[in-house]
Structure 1
Amino acid sequence: MPLLTISQAWIFLAIAILMEVGGTTSMRLAEGFTRLGPSLAMVGFYACSFALNTMVIRVLGLSVTYGVWSGVGTVLTATIRIFYFKEPVIAVKMVSIGLIVIGVMGLHSASRTGT
């Protein structure tokens, strides 16, 4: 299978992140595997996410792929928890999210310079 281009890899990574966030949200909605629909959705979302990550790692490398995937996924999941599940917003949580964003930007920057 031919490698993806850099642009394609970033697009696939973005889709993988959305699939991971869908899986994590479905995990919350599955209520410990007591609800079939969200449980099946969780498995499907995670399978898709890992398959896409496997392709992206070949192009972007493990540290960038996993760092961006987990960092952006964490920020999006935290945002969903705040707005959809009505979790309280506290300063420590917001500062922590900001630090994750800075870290992801650093990884992206490092991938562009080849270091």
Structure 2
Amino acid sequence: MAWLLLALAIASEVLATTALKLSNGFTHLGWTVVVAAGYLTSFALLARVLKLHLDVGTAYAVWSGAGTAAIALIGAAVFGEALTPLKIGGILLIIGGVVLLNLAGGH
């Protein structure tokens, strides 16, 4: 259950961050509401995950790492941002770090 809630927290955070770009500096009310709701939902779900006894280091690493990698890919696919070899390498390092943290143990 904790891992499912963590996946939902990541999805909410990615949605909120994407909406942050679309809000154009909070000048579009609809996207601004999506930003606020997405971040609030993400943090509420992350708090629930921690209450279910998933290690804070592991949960936060997965939440932030997966979110960072997803946003980098969305930036390239949706907003036409450059996806250079160095950025791809960075994304792979993030994913590798998250995998290593999970292999190191935790609930």
TM-score scaled by structure 1?
0.88
Structure 1: unaligned runs, 5 residues or longer: 1-7
Runs of at least 5 residues in structure 2 that lack an aligned partner in the other structure: none
- Separation of aligned partners in 2, 1:91 and 1:18: 25
Aligned to 1:52: 45
Q: Which amino acid aligns with 1:32?
A: G
Aligned length, in residue pairs: 106
Partner of 1:42: 35
Aligned to 1:105: 99
What is the TM-score of this pair, normalised by structure 2?
Answer: 0.95
> Aligned-pair RMSD on alpha carbons?
1.1
After superposition, residues 1-115 of structure 1 pair within 5 angstroms as 8-58=1-51, 59-112=53-106
Q: Which has the larger radius of gyration?
A: 1
**Cα distance in structure 1, aligned partners of 2:25 and 2:66:** 25
Find the aligned partners of 1:83 and 1:19 in 2 and give their Cα distance: 19
